[in-house]
Amino acid sequence: MRRSRITTVLCGLAALAVFSARSDAQRAASASSTPTGLAPTPPMGWNSWNKFGCRIDEQLIRETADAMVSSGMRDAGYKYVNIDDCWEAPARDANGDLATEPTRFPGGMKALADYVHSKGLKIGIYSSAGTGTCQRRPASLDHEVADAKKFAEWGIDYLKYDNCNNEKRPALERYKAMGDALKATGRPIVYSLCEWGENKPWEWGRTVGGQLWRTTGDISDRWTSMVRLLDKQVGLEKYSGPNAWNDPDMLEVGNGRMTNTEYITHFSLWALLNAPLIAGNDLRSMSDSTKMILMNREVIAVDQDWGGKQGSRVRDDGELQVWMKPMASGDRAVILLNRSSTPFHLRVTMKELGLSSGQHRARDVWAHTDVTVGPEVSALLEPHGVKMYIIKR
């Protein structure tokens, strides 16, 4: 009797162990089974706007494609070369089609797309769901079918679709019209909604065919701008997933108005948020520290890993915060963040991170060292700095 009770208890424990082992394995399997679609992981690439604004031409785009290859960015996962506003001629052509600005893009968009493709890369373009772009060039409202057709003809792989001059017409309707038009071309074109988060695009972005949507207004190359956008991501984690990414705007890494420490913080947080990693600097003249940040493969791997949920803030002490993202393996990517301008010591327990309280192996993804942590992890953080770990389950 006694023995059978013990056996029952042991069997029960074994079953529980098998059950939890299985659910972890299943969770890892379902989270890591390769999703299909146009953006199964957050898109990675480059965009002209943050650094160059309207000072763009075909030579810049070609040289950027070259630099994406020669710097190692392509091999690190960056593949889209995206042309933002100001590629457009001031007026539509005689057929009513969008045309390329002839003095800065004399070879035309098709030849440029062919060049970018010849480098093993993809090319993106920009328009607005309005009567004009933000820089008052012709845009696509009520021209969706013709413009999408043109983009497909040119060999475009990615459209960033802005929100300027929208005549206050309903966003969902305007963004759906372009989503339908892109689909009708038959060409796979990533559809990036740049609606600035005004009408909660995270709630309907998927339904209009979008793979990513801006959640905020524009970033600028300043610490205060970056953290302001970061705060707006809180609570949006449940809307993100394969082919449906929250976009807190493009990267400013390497543009010169934040410190290196701040750029490391920016890149770490964007990766933890499964943000699209769209570099916004001059790839032709990157410093070693910019390259070290943009091509940190351990951090990129966090961005590209879909563990079932975008990373989120798990502790908010004001200036000191902890952000955590479950990885597909069951490991946890963790960021200890110091937003203040003085150094601070921060501690977090394994329990707060949803891990067992004992010791765990961990990886410091900026120092590239293996460490042991638990029952807590603690670090002295530089002003505006982070420590980022992957803590093994």
Determine contact, residues 212/200, Cβ cutoff 8 Å. no
Residue 194 C-beta: closest distance to ligand GLA, Å: 5
Residue 279 binding ligand GLA, by CB under 6 A: no
Q: Is 54 exposed, middle or buried (0-12, 13-18, 19+ CB in 10 A)?
A: middle
- Asked if the peptide bond before residue 375 counts as cis, ω within 30 degrees of 0, the response is yes
Residues labelled as active-site residues:
162, 218
Decide if residue 139 touches ligand GLA (CB under 6 A): no
By beta-carbon proximity to ligand GLA, the closer residue of 143 and 313 is 143
Specify whether the CB–CB gap between 245 and 42 falls below 8 A: yes
Q: Is 135 in the site for ligand GLA (CB under 6 A)?
A: yes
Give which of 362, 350, 371 is closest to 392, Cα–Cα: 362
134 binds ligand GLA (CB under 6 A): yes
| Residues in Cβ contact with 257 at an 8 Å cutoff, skipping those fewer than 6 apart | 220, 221, 222
Give the per-residue contact string, 228-267, with ligand GLA (x = CB under 6 A; - = no).
Answer: ----------------------------------------
The owner of tokens 């803030």 is 313
Work out whether 220 is an interface residue with ligand GLA (CB under 6 A): no
CA distance 300 to 35: 18
Least distance from ligand GLA to the Cβ atom of residue 135, Å: 5
Shortest Å, Cβ 80 to ligand GLA: 14
Q: Say how far apart CA 51 and CA 225 lie, in whole Å.
A: 16
Residue 319 touching ligand GLA (CB under 6 A): no
Minimum separation from the CB atom of position 163 to ligand GLA (A): 7
**Per CB under 6 A, 218 contacts ligand GLA:** yes
Q: Which is nearer to ligand GLA, 178 or 334 (CB)?
A: 178
CA dihedral 297, 302, 303, 304 (to 10 degrees): 80
58 binds ligand GLA (CB under 6 A): no
- Positions that interact with ligand GLA (CB under 6 A): 49, 84-85, 133-135, 162, 194, 218
